[in-house]
Amino acid sequence: MSILKDNYQDEELESFFDGSMPMGIGINCDLDKHLLFKRGQFNLILGNDNVGKTFFLIWYMCMLSIKSGLKWTMYCSENEVWSTKYKLMSFFSNQSIKDLDPKEYYMAKNWVEEHFKFVDTRKTYILKELIKVFEDSDTDGYLIDPYNSLSKERGIDSHTYEYEMANLIRMFCRNRNKTVYISMHPVTEASRNIHTKGDYTGQQAPPRKSHAEGGQKWANRCDDFIIVHRYFTDEMVTKSLVYVEKIKETETGGNRTMFNEPLVFQFASYGFSINGKNPLLREFVQPEISTFDPKEAFKDVKPIEEVEQMERLGDNGEIETVEKPF
User: What is the SS3 string spanning 295-324?
Assistant: CCCCCCEEEHHHCCEEEEECCCCCEEEEEC
How confident is the model at residue 97, as a pLDDT?
87
Domain membership of residue 5 (yes or no) is: no
- Is 87 inside a domain boundary? yes
b/e per residue 27-47 (b: at least 16 CB within 10 A): bebebbebbbbbbbbbbbbbb
- Euclidean distance between CA atoms 210 and 220, whole angstroms: 10
Dihedrals phi, psi of 234, to nearest 5 degrees:
-55, -40
Find the CATH number of the domain harbouring 139.
3.40.50.300
How far is residue 184's CA from residue 143's CA, in Å, rounded to a whole number? 11
In this structure, is residue 8 part of a structural domain? no
In degrees and rounded to multiples of 5, residue 250 shows phi and psi of -70, -15
Residue range(s) defining the domain that contains residue 195: 24-281+290-323
pLDDT for 259-301, tens place per residue?
A: 788 999 998 768 898 888 888 864 444 444 444 444 444 444 5
In a domain, 116, yes or no: yes
CA distance 231 to 202: 10
pTM, 2 dp: 0.82
Nearby residues of 258 by Cβ (< 8 Å), 6 or more positions away: none
Question: By the 8 A CB rule, do 233 and 212 touch?
Answer: no
Q: Is 175 helix (H, G, I), strand (E, B) or coil?
A: helix
pLDDT at residue 211 is higher than 90: no
Q: How many domains in the chain?
A: 1
**Domain assignment of residue 120, yes or no:** yes
Mean pLDDT of the chain: 83
Per residue in 19-61, pLDDT (tens digit) is 666 779 999 999 999 999 999 999 999 998 888 899 999 999 9
Structural domain includes residue 13: no
Question: Does any domain span residue 9?
Answer: no
pLDDT at 282: 47
Which burial class, exposed, middle or buried, applies to 51 when counting CB atoms under 10 A from its CB (0-12, 13-18, 19+)? buried
Q: pLDDT for 130-173, tens place per residue?
A: 999 999 999 999 999 999 899 988 878 777 888 899 999 999 99
15 domain-assigned? no
323 vs 117, more confident: 117
